[in-house]
Structure 1
Amino acid sequence: MTEYGRGSGPAPWHPEDPLYGDQGWTGHQTPDGGNAPYTAEQAQQAQQLYEGGQQDPYQQQYAAGQPYGSPSYGEQQYGNQPQPDQLQGQAQQQAHQAQQQQAQPQQYAEQQQDPYHQQYAEHQYAAGGGWDAAQQTGLPYDPAAQSVQYQGETPDPYGTPEAYPPPEPPARRSARPEPAAGAESGSEPEHDWDAEPEAEKHPFFTGADAPDAEPEPGGSRRSGGGGGKEGRGGGRSKKQKKGRNGIACLVVATVLVGGLGGVTYFGYQFWQGKFGAAPDYTGEGTGTVQVEIPQDSGGFVIGQLLKKKGVVKSVDAFVSAQGNNPQGKSIQAGVYTMKKEMSAASAVKLMLSPSSRNSLVIPEGKRNVWVYEQIDTKLGLESGTTKKVAQDQAKNLGLPDWAMGHPNLKDPLEGFLFPASYPVAKGTKPEKVLRKMVSRANQEYSRLDLEAQAKKLKLEGPWQLITVASLVQAEGKTDDDFRKMAEVVYNRLKPDNTETNRKIQFDSAFNYLRGQSEIKISESEINSNPDLYNTYYHEGLTPGPIGNPGMEALEATLKPTEDGWMYFVATDGMNKTEFAKNHDDFEELKDKFNDAVG
């Protein structure tokens, strides 16, 4: 603390401290909490003592009654008197206070008229004595003065939030509030401090006026003036309140009806989408329009294309009609000549009819010569037009690198016109159709990873693998036939083959070079023809594929059997194929064949 503080420091209070000598309660304090001024008589007496060089007895009193805890308490109590310079400052301060009091006689008079001030003044200054500490227990308690006196030294028991408020002097106590109108006299008003405030009732539903609305004549906006918010005097009539409640009910009813209508509408839409019939045309339609269906298109895609062209009214109608038709799932890729605004059922029926299809279907194992002729027919071109385009533009039709540069080929596109259905509409150029077929072959061959498979089977590359598949496709009839025939090819290609001396000896290869499909071929003709495609005459595989193998033959070529098959014969001359592992068994199969064909 500083030298003017009230702590436990060694210096006494400074005489000019406003709280210097404050030992009591209101008897020595002004209404604002400061020291009470001397009376006129006491001020005059203090001035005379100062002029005569005597000590003010009141200063002796304060010195003897200095609060406990000050370091100079013992010295002043046992005769150490204040110095003359201190007395001079105190006397001047007292004289100044007397002059201020004279300037405000009315305030001082009111203070002197207070019986409590007189009572405590008598206790303090009776018989010219000082403040007796022993009398403090009998005096009324003043929290303001006591907090000033013991500030920083003794805790105030009334300063905590849990304590009751300290008693106030009678002059400061407020009058007890009068009971509300209608309450019994003498009864204390009850108040539940823990009760939560009553929720305000909205005037829209209660019928009361808005909070900031002007009151009706004769009414009051305050409680106690003839009614509160709910009981205002001169307020609206019951009929007006009922009308307000009726409007509220009408609004609620409108909202409920609107919500019910919305639920009904969306519920109907949901039911219509799930269980109702899809929008659809009726009849067989009119006019003509061409629709191209891509490869691997499902019913939903087909329905979208038909709707876009104006054939059907909705996709759902077409999908439903396709599902109801037993053959609906067999619709293939191609270009279809359809009519506009057809019923979905009529559209499905027309697409299943061959007359509506403007597409070219390439079966498995067909040679390129046959494919060229079909393209010319579909496009209405002169015979041989597509074949010539294939020979002239083979390098520009999208063949892979591993299919280029092979010598002695009869057709560089052989094996790349992949068996599938292709749209061929009138006006389409033949090179566009060929490019689509080569692209489809590249797609399928890439999916099988022919390069890696060729290494596993000890072939020179994908080209030889396609060649083996074409031979298997031309000779076999079933998947079991394909796998056994593939093993026959691989066994005959082995260097240690002594059964056929690495010759394949397939009739299908000889028929390819002759452009025929004969069953009976004379041995003299086979053994004497030096064409590179004659596998009776030359060892190993043909220079290239002899047809366009399908996916089933391709997969069988990649997974041949391992039973040791070396021979096979169509013993019935057509469909039944039997296999043998040695030459003697093969001779027996030949006898069966000769007997079957005569």
Structure 2
Amino acid sequence: MRDEQDPTGDDQMTYDDSVPFDEEPAHEPGRRRGAKRRSLPGCIAVLVALAIIAGGFYFVVTWGMGVLKDQFDSADDYSGPGHGKVSFEVHEGDTIAQMGRNLKSDGVVASVQAFTDAAAANADSTKIQVGFYPLKKEMAADDVVEILVDPDNQVKDTVTIPEGLRAVDTIAILAKKTKFSEEDFQKVIDKPDALGLPDYASGNVEGYLFPATYDFGPTATPTTMLKAMVDRWRQAADDADLESAAADLGYTPGELMTVASLVQAEGRGDAMPKIARVIYNRLENPDNGITNGLLQIDATVNYALDRSLIAVPTEEDTKVDSPYNTYANTGLPPGPIEAPGDDAIEAAAHPAEGDWLFYVTVNLATAETKFTASYDEFLQFKQELRDYCATKSDRC
């Protein structure tokens, strides 16, 4: 070794010129060993972590841009009039923005913004109804809104089921008004588990296919149609508080539905609650010495004979051997004989107060009905009906 003195006069700097400058001196005892270099696998781990973070950041940014795109999409619009066919459904609870997203997804409009702008410019857009609408691919947004705001443009089968029909009559109307056959509906009726019938219906749809006007969309099936009718019955039953009313009156809900079907067959309007009371009076006072527990309702005889419920039975008809024949059997028939509407269910659940045992509709045109607890007065009412039929009506 040699010593060299700094010409500036500072402290001396010593080095060993026998060791290359870029090599590490051999380890000497007592001297601290230098830190080792970081291994290659550790560097890779850092790079992988950075890649994951970068990928996650890219995903979040891309997803966020997609969300913002729906909200701030440029108002690109097609010139129309469009092509092809699209059956577009407006769902319950859809907002204008949701409709716009669905329309864009279906290829109907060019952008969500174009549709929302068109809807904002049309005051009727707040009245768009749930349902299916006939649209096309690549339509002008204004044209789409014009179609959606008009309920007459809905694609649907409108079917009206009147009160007082048997199940067989109801499915005949459904088959006539839709693309399905009576056999298609009968298959569902034969296996009614999917219809939501109450337990007390015992799997029988008679009386539970509620009479109303229904709009069935293009995706409707016999099962969904019949279920819609049972659901509508449930609404009427809840409105009348049917099950609680049955308990208060001392009957089962199924028996109350049978009474409601008899009321529907026998009366109209204000007469219904009184007819319900006559039925209950006869059921609850079988030893009155006049009716002897027999309801003697013509419609039950017609039901037993599998014919129109408004026919006038003959004396021979009243002898038909059937549990539905209330001229031959005391008490209620086994179940409903037809579908009662709101008024009949309400009347059965909340009958009028009175001691009547008889009623006669003396005018078929006005449905005027007279009530009495006297058998002699009842006979007078019957004669009044005969006179009416002989002179004023050919409906008898």
Q: Deviations over 1:444-494 (max 9, x none)?
A: 4345443321121122x100011111111222221x111111111111112
Distance 1:292 1:419, change over 3 A: farther
Distance 1:378 1:580, change over 3 A: closer
SS in structure 1 of the partner of residue 354 of structure 2: coil
Letter in 1 for 2:186: K
Indicate which of 400, 403, 416 corresponds to 2:198.
Answer: 400
Please state how far the C-alpha of 1:533 moved relative to its aligned partner: 1.2
The separation in 2 between residues aligned to 1:303 and 1:477, in whole angstroms, is: 44
Within the alignment, does 1:560 sit opposite 2:358 as a pair?
no
Aligned residue in 2 for 1:314: 119
| Distance in structure 2 (CA, Å) of the matches to 1:448 and 1:436 | 19
**Cα 1:304–1:470 shift into 2, 3 Å:** farther
Q: 1:492 to 1:289 in 2, by over 3 A?
A: farther
Indicate the residue corresponding to 1:82 in structure 2: none
- Contact in 1 for aligned 2:180/2:222 (Cα 8 Å): no
Contact 2:156 2:216 (8 Å CA) reproduced: no
Alignment of 1:338-377 (within 5 A): 338-339=134-135, 342=143, 351-352=151-152, 357-377=156-176
**1:485 corresponds to 2:290:** no
Residue of structure 2 in register with 1:590 after alignment: 382
Q: Distance in 2 between matches of 1:451 and 1:565?
A: 25
Task: Supply the distance in 2 between the matched residues of 1:366 and 1:317 (Cα, whole angstroms).
Answer: 43
Q: 1:291 to 1:462 in 2, by over 3 A?
A: farther
Query: Contact 2:240 / 2:349 at 8 angstroms: preserved in 1?
Result: no
The answer for the alignment partner of 1:271 in structure 2 is none
Displacement of 1:442: 3.3
Give me the identity figure in percent.
33
Aligned pairs for 1:394-543 (under 5 A) are 394-404=192-202, 412-426=204-218, 428-446=220-238, 448-459=240-251, 461-478=252-269, 480-495=270-285, 496-513=287-304, 514-526=306-318, 528-543=319-334
- Summarize the alignment of residues 65-76 of structure 1 with structure 2, pairs less than 5 Å apart: none
Shift of 1:290: 4.4
Structure 1 residue matching 2:360: 3-state secondary structure: strand
> Contact between 1:318 and 1:345, CA under 8 Å: does it hold in 2?
no
Q: 1:549 and 2:340 equivalent?
A: yes
How far apart in 2 are the matches of 1:571 and 1:375? Answer: 34
Please say if residues 373 and 383 of structure 1, whose CA atoms lie closer than 8 Å, have aligned partners that are also in contact. yes
Q: Distance in 1 between matches of 2:316 and 2:95?
A: 56
Cα distance in 1 for partners of 2:95, 2:165 equals: 28
Aligned-pair CA distance for 1:426: 4.2
Q: Rate the CA distance shift 1:561–1:555 in 2: closer, same or farther, 3 A.
A: same
Alignment CA distance shift 1:284-1:507 (3 Å): farther
Question: Contact (CA 8 Å) 2:254, 2:335: kept in 1 or not?
Answer: yes
Deviations 1:511-546 (A, max 9, x none): 2232214443212221x1121111112111111111
Partner of 1:572: 363
Instruction: Provide, for residues 231-261 of structure 1, a one-character-per-residue CA deviation record: whole Å limited to 9, x for no partner.
Output: xxxxxxxxxxxxxxxxxxxxxxxxxxxxxxx
The aligned amino acid for 1:385 is: D
SS in 2 for 1:571: strand
- Whether the 8 Å contact between 1:318 and 1:348 is mirrored in structure 2 is no
Write the letter of the residue equivalent to 1:463. Answer: G
Amino acid at match of 1:380: K
Match of 1:385 among 163, 184, 197: 184
Contact 2:300 2:326 in 1 (8 A): yes
Letter in 1 for 2:180: L
Structure 1 moving runs of 4+ over 6 Å: 283-287, 300-307, 343-346
Deviation at 1:568, TM superposition (A): 1.8
Cα displacement (A) at 1:289: 5.0
If the length of structure 2 is used for normalisation, what is the TM-score? 0.62
Is contact 2:276-2:347 (8 Å) kept?
Answer: yes
| Partner-residue secondary structure (3-state), 2:363 | coil
What is the CA distance between 1:301 and its match in structure 2?
6.9
Q: Deviations over 1:17-73 (max 9, x none)?
A: xxxxxxxxxxxxxxxxxxxxxxxxxxxxxxxxxxxxxxxxxxxxxxxxxxxxxxxxx
Question: CA 1:336/1:315 → structure 2, altered by over 3 Å: closer, same or farther?
Answer: farther
Give the conservation status (yes or no) of the 8 Å contact 1:414–1:546: yes
1:559–1:524: structure 2 CA closer, same or farther, 3 Å change rule? same
Alpha carbons of structure 1 residues 388 and 521: separation in structure 2 relative to 1, 3 Å:
same
Within 5 Å, which residues of 2 pair with 1:86-235?
none
Q: Which amino acid in 2 is paired with 1:363?
A: P
- Letter aligned with residue 388 of structure 2: A
Cα separation, partners in 2 of 1:494 and 1:423, compared to 1, 3 Å: same
Distance 1:577 1:302 in 2: 50
8 A Cα contact 2:362 2:381, kept in partner: yes
Match of 2:16 in 1: none
State the one-letter code of the partner of 1:565.
W
1:98-132 superposed Cα distances (whole Å, 9 cap, x missing partner) = xxxxxxxxxxxxxxxxxxxxxxxxxxxxxxxxxxx
Cα deviation, 1:188-216, whole Å, max 9, x if unaligned, reads xxxxxxxxxxxxxxxxxxxxxxxxxxxxx
Q: Deviations over 1:291-345 (max 9, x none)?
A: 6678xx8xx97989977657984278364796xxxxx9xx8x8x55545654867
Match of 1:100 in 2: none
Cα separation, 2, equivalents of 1:420 and 1:492: 31
Equivalent pair of 1:509/1:546 in contact (CA under 8 Å):
yes
Q: 1:486 to 1:399 in 2, by over 3 A?
A: same
Quote the Cα distance in structure 1 between the aligned partners of 2:97 and 2:240.
Answer: 32
What SS does the corresponding residue of 1:360 show, helix, strand or coil? strand
Count of matched residue pairs: 293
Provide the rounded CA distance (Å) in 2 between the counterparts of 1:553 and 1:376. Answer: 26
Is contact 1:389–1:431 with CA below 8 Å preserved after alignment? yes
Q: In structure 1, what is the equivalent of residue 13 of structure 2?
A: none
CA RMSD of superposed structures (Å): 3.7
Paired AA for residue 567 in structure 1:
F
1:443, distance to aligned residue in structure 2 (A): 4.4
Give the CA deviation at 1:592: 1.8
Which segments of 5 or more consecutive residues in structure 2 lack a partner in the other structure?
Answer: 1-79, 110-114, 137-141, 391-396
Distance in 1, Cα, partners of 2:277 & 2:337: 18
